[in-house]
Amino acid sequence: MTTLNHKNFHARVEFDPEDGLFVGRIAGINDVVGFHGESVTELTAAFREAVDDYIETCRHVGKEPERTYSGKLMLRVPPDLHAQAARAAELSGKSLNQWGEDVLRAAVRA
């Protein structure tokens, strides 16, 4: 999986072997904004154009473009996992929030 970033919008990109195209969609928003290209250069240009068109369309219709994620994350986990995570955070000298942020940051780097 490959991702693109333009103006703080991100997209996931895959290759469609049937059509011989790279295809992508802006991630993290409810609106469906897709794009495609036959080469990396075409794909990148199409992504940037899709983002710019999305922003312009939103402006034209008087809507704020959706922004991806607020920074607030609520997880539902089993009580025993919650206890283990809280204990691990305390033993590391961190709040559960800081410990969880560190764990998530390490996981997305992997």
How high is the pLDDT of residue 12? 87
How high is the pLDDT of residue 2? 65
Q: Say whether both 7 and 40 belong to one domain.
A: yes
Q: Which residue has better confidence, 16 or 71?
A: 16
How high is the pLDDT of residue 107? 93
69: in domain: no
The CATH number for 53's domain is 3.30.160
Q: Say whether both 18 and 44 belong to one domain.
A: yes
pLDDT at position 110 over 90: no
40: in domain: yes
Q: Say whether both 54 and 7 belong to one domain.
A: yes
pLDDT at position 45 over 90: yes
How high is the pLDDT of residue 8? 87
Under a CB-based contact definition with an 8 Å cutoff, are residues 23 and 2 in contact?
A: no
Q: Say whether both 92 and 55 belong to one domain.
A: no
Other Cβ atoms within 10 Å of 39 Cβ, number: 10
Q: Say whether both 17 and 52 belong to one domain.
A: yes
Structural domain of 96 = 79-109
Q: What is the pLDDT of residues 30-41, one digit of tens each?
A: 889 999 999 999
Q: Say whether both 40 and 86 belong to one domain.
A: no
* Closest alpha carbon to 77 in 100, 105, 95, 102: 100
